[in-house]
A and B are shown apart, each in its own frame.
Chain A
């Protein structure tokens, strides 16, 4: 089964224009085989103990036997908690469900807090299941793509496929045309198309084309033209999450669906049914459970009800591994007037293993800034980088990262390619950091509206 699984595990997505996010430089946890953290690797710098601890957790998740463990990443702002979670998600691979949410996401008018949490938990449990799907397998005879004269609008395409026995013409949608172009499919290739998902895989070139004198690389594989009918039924393995199965089965049938659309809340009976069905499939060997990870950022935003719900939910054998992150110290638990470490009740804290993150050293800050410079496509002189590191040390890492692109824009205005110390200084003077801004407010608070001593001021007037 694993062979089929890896075979069907196809190309994920077509070219997407990636924007640069705060954590887009992270590609993994940067650990070696013995789970020792490498100094600078896969976008990760420093935080050796936290990374090592996460590596151990990664092993636990990969084994998939332990359900419902909770891990807390605790540390000051800007010490890489989210980065570690992202790294974990990357190293888990695409087949393990990883749900990322912020603590405040659960507050919505459309569904209750516990429903949002349940959905998040069920999104983090994958079911690997065998399904029969229709596959088109044939040799490409001709691809014809018409673009509109204006250059904009939908393209129209036709694809002719054949086997040794027959030939069929297919109409192509826009997405499929892009896919075919990206895969560089041309006449003489033998391809398969999954009819339900539209995924294309190239099997090789047809033997009949072996004598063509076009540019065939040494790795070109020649295959026999398929026989019989073009459309075949094949068993494929794919991973869906429990939540997806819930949604499929909870849609109101018939004309009512027109009015209700997607149901916000899913009935507990539906979930129960699904759980039964899944355990049935498991017994029959039709499906496997792939426990994933639920990551809740800013977990102190959850309130006491959610915490007690989580307490209970973690005991379920279908529960995923829950990783939470917080930057709070001893503070009030939301929804109560009690104080507790990290703003999390003691009983839940007791169920967790806590991974601390510590502030970065100056050398580590420099490495991180260097990586971010690369990520944001900005050339920086070594002096400027030193200045920036000092800024990061004195203000904050986030502020220093903000200065990268701003100073590179200033430098580009001055028609130079490399960001110099002056450019950084300019950006530093243009944009205040949190500290200087508070300083400024304190100095001039009399001139602002609604400052603390307003009543006092009015009296004197």
Chain B
């Protein structure tokens, strides 16, 4: 019963945060793009595919503690191409080699998906487990790769990942992990989509989102 209560509490909180945020919406390139500005100054962007109504991209604007702009952190979708990669190698002096595994996230109608590219070990090497700390952990028996994947979608509804909903497969050097969405999450997503789809849509063009 208590778990039930905390779940609905967390759901309410996240929904209210989105509801209170200043929202700007446009339709561009076949996507409905929504920009949220929260009361605490954080910025957040979601993009929905017009045909499937599924989130294809979700990103947070990162700010440093001193107020410096750190660019966008992509939660769902392909990571931003890093134009300053060479520059960064000069200033910081270190960068992951491009041959290292890269994680990217996707959402489908029924599941949350992770794709880890550049992993060329056979399928029996991997183990993917739901952990008590709220992460999904990927391990390799040859000790080459290890990653704790956080699941912000589940955190927002106050749930922890469950092993039964987890599955993975390996093809084309890519490990694909799928987590079947729990009903609570589907419900929340539906509610959010309803809210978003009711927003007044700006014409495609030069739209300025509020940043302060």
Contacts and interface: CB of A to CB of B under 8 A. Distances in A.
Contacts of B64: 131, 248
B134 to A, nearest CB: 15
B61 to A, nearest CB: 11
Contact of B94 (A131, A170, A228): A170
Given A164-B143, A166-B143, A168-B100, A198 B94 contact: yes
A166 B121 CA distance: 13
A168 B102 CA distance: 11
Contacts of B100: 168-169
A163 interface: yes
Contacts of A198: 91-94
Interface stretch (B3-11, B20-28, B144-152): B144-152
A193 B96 CA distance: 13
Chain A contact residues: helix, strand, loop or mixed: mixed
A168 B66 contact: no
Interface residues on A, range: 35 or more
A171 B65 contact: no
B148 A228 contact: yes
Contact of B65 (A129, A136, A158, A175): A129
Interface residues of B, number: 26
Given A129-B66, A165-B139, A253-B69, A229 B94 contact: no
A172 B94 contact: yes
B146 A173 contact: no
Contact of B146 (A158, A229, A240): A229
A173 B65 contact: no
Contact of A169 (B90, B92, B96, B143): B96
A374 interface: no
A171 B96 contact: yes
B203 interface: no
B67 A174 contact: no
B99 A169 contact: yes
Contact of A172 (B66, B93, B98): B93
A169 B94 contact: no
Given A129-B65, A171-B95, A171-B96, A163 B90 contact: no
Nearest to A227: B146
Contacts of B68: 248-249
B89 interface: yes
Nearest to B89: A173
Given A131-B65, A248-B68, A166 B96 contact: no
Interface string B115-141: 000000000000000000000000110
A133 to B, nearest CB: 10
Interface string B81-97: 00000000111111111
Contact of B148 (A158, A195, A229): A229
Contacts of B92: 173, 176, 195-198
A451 to B, nearest CB: 57
Nearest to B142: A167
Interface in A170-217: 170-177, 179, 193, 195-198
Contact of A175 (B69, B90, B95, B143): B90
Contacts of B143: 162, 164-167
A459 interface: no
Contacts of B66: 129, 131, 240, 244-245, 248-249
A132 B68 CA distance: 13
A166 B68 CA distance: 32
A170 B95 contact: yes
A137 to B, nearest CB: 13
A92 interface: no
Nearest to A136: B94
A354 interface: no
A193 B144 CA distance: 20
Interface string B30-65: 000000000000000000000000000000000011
B97 A249 contact: no
Contacts of A195: 92, 94
Nearest to B211: A253
A169 B68 CA distance: 29
Contact of B97 (A162, A171, A229): A171
Q: Which 5 A-B pairs have the closest CB atoms?
A: A176-B93, A165-B146, A166-B146, A173-B93, A198-B93
Given A245-B67, A249-B66, 11 more contacts: A131-B66, A166-B143, A170-B95, A170-B96, A171-B89, A172-B94, A173-B89, A175-B93, A198-B91, A198-B92, A198-B94
Interface of A: 129-132, 136, 158-159, 162-177, 179, 193, 195-198, 228-229, 240, 244-245, 248-249, 253, 277
19 contacts: A129-B65, A165-B139, A165-B146, A168-B100, A169-B97, A170-B97, A171-B89, A171-B94, A171-B96, A172-B93, A173-B90, A173-B94, A176-B92, A193-B94, A196-B92, A228-B146, A229-B148, A248-B68, A253-B69
Interface of B: 64-69, 89-100, 139-140, 143-148
